[in-house]
Amino acid sequence: MSKLHFNAETPLYTSDGKAWRIEQAELLMQSLEASGKPLILFVHGRGKEPGKSLKGGTFTKGLAVHKLELGYDARVLMFNWDAAFEGFNFFDRTLPLSHTQAGAKALGQVLEALIKHSAAHPKARKMALLVHSMGAVVVEKAVEQGFWPGVKNLFSSVLLTQADADDVGHSAWLNRLAQREMVFVTLNADDHVLRRATDARPPECHALGLGTTEPLAPLATYIDLGRMGAMGQKDEDHEVFGKGAMNGQLHVCHFFEQVLKGQPVLLDPASNLEGIEREVIYRLKSRHEPSNPCLRVPKLPGD
């Protein structure tokens, strides 16, 4: 288990475990861009971070940053917010939820730093933004509280994977975000982590990432991964961006590759779509091809 602990003074981390202050963002971005690889800004979910995503967890494998960098041949910048649960109460959402407002404010400051960098380097390749699980609540509050800047297309796209935000009322803030960015949201009713995520949630709500019958954000694109089911190692069906969680589904892999590498996203009934529901929910076709190079599972630290 990592000895890295949350520090509000250094909300940015690179895969080598180095912590960065927001005022170092310009130097940091230049360093990342020098690799020539696609760049991903990663907003993690609930857990004892930054250790879980960088060094691994005690009860879950974690290592999300390395899954992204090695799985997509990219460089990852992780935004760290205080997401730890209470003690060993793995179902506790109350404590991390209480920190999402502070996380939203800090995220807004990071985004402003990225805007300055983008203005100074207008030809630089745009980052993709990956927001996972309860990280969606941080983004929700950033949008609602005015911490999300008003510029458009700061990112090549924004991908919310298995959002732990409440489904009821989500369309308002999500559509506001989708007015500024190209937004994708994954849905999987078989996500067993989100099924257990009921603590501190109104009884009429459930996690958006499970799917919803509530009004949808008309400007967002929802991707139904229901064919994935409960797969991979423990908790991997929740970290759907990991190649080991894709159950050999090639269309799923191609979707994540395109979004996270800033490429045009193909969603076409003639090739990879089984159907479109409620105008904005896209269900990917099943194409089981585990030997395809896209689905190669990288060797992670500690394997």
CA distance 76 to 59: 23
What are the 10-residue block averages of pLDDT along the chain, 303 residues in total? 82 97 97 97 96 81 94 98 86 95 98 97 96 98 97 97 98 98 96 93 96 98 82 71 92 97 97 96 95 96 84
Two tokens, residue 140: 């929700």
Q: What is the value of pTM for the model shown?
A: 0.96
CA distance 120 to 129: 20
Two tokens, residue 49: 């971070």
Residue positions counted in the chain: 303
Helix axes 64-72, 250-260, angle to 10 degrees: 90
Two tokens, residue 271: 């090739």
* Spatial CA neighbour of 153 closest among 175, 172, 126, 119: 126
Are β-strands 221-224 and 273-277 bridged in parallel, bridged antiparallel, or unpaired? unpaired
Domain that holds residue 124: 12-295
Residue 5 domain-assigned?
no
Could you give the 3-state DSSP secondary structure of residue 135? helix
Residue 7 domain-assigned?
no
CATH number at residue 267: 3.40.50
Two tokens, residue 196: 């257990």
Residue 287 domain-assigned?
yes
Per-residue confidence (pLDDT) for residue 87, from 0 to 100: 76
> Residue 184 belongs to what H/E stretch?
strand 183-187
Q: Tell me which amino acid residue 215 is.
A: P
Residue 263 domain-assigned?
yes
Residue 3 domain-assigned?
no
Two tokens, residue 183: 């937004």
Residue 250 domain-assigned?
yes
Q: What is the largest CA-CA distance in the chain?
A: 50
Question: Per the structure, how many domains does the chain have?
Answer: 1
Q: Tell me which amino acid residue 292 is.
A: N
Residue 242 domain-assigned?
yes
Residue 136 domain-assigned?
yes
Tokens 């190079």 correspond to 293
Per-residue confidence (pLDDT) for residue 1, from 0 to 100: 39
Q: Phi and psi at residue 276, in whole multiples of 5°?
A: -125, 125
